[in-house]
Amino acid sequence: MGRGAAAGALLVALVVLGAAPAAGAELSGVSQEMVQSECHFINGTERVRFVKRFIYNREQYVHFDSDVGHFVGDTPYGEEVARYWNSDPEWMEHRRGAVDRHCRHNYELSTPFVVERRVPPTVSISL
In the predicted model, what is the mean pLDDT of residues 57-77?
94
pLDDT of residue 18: 52
Q: Can you say whether the dihedral through the CA atoms of 94, 98, 104, 106 is positive or negative?
A: positive
> Does the pLDDT at position 16 exceed 70?
no
Report helix, strand or coil for 55. strand
Question: How far is Cα 11 from Cα 18, in angstroms, rounded to an integer?
Answer: 10
Domain ranges of the chain: 33-112
Write out pLDDT tens, residues 114-123. Answer: 666 667 778 9
The reported pLDDT for the residue numbered 103 is: 86
**Sequence-distant (≥ 6) Cβ neighbours of residue 107 within 8 angstroms:** 39, 41, 44, 45, 48
Higher-confidence residue of 82 and 110: namely: 82
Q: How far apart are CA 13 and CA 15, in angstroms?
A: 6
Q: How confident is the model at residue 1 (pLDDT cuts 50, 70, 90)?
A: very low
The DSSP bridge pattern shows strands 47-56 and 33-42 to be antiparallel
Q: Spell out the CATH class of 33-112.
A: alpha beta
The pLDDT, as a whole number, for residue 65 is 92
For the whole prediction, is pTM greater than 0.85? no
pLDDT tens digit string along 24-57? 566 668 889 999 999 988 887 788 899 999 999 9
Buried b / exposed e across 65-86, counting CB within 10 Å, b at 16+?
ebeeeebebbeeebeebbeebb
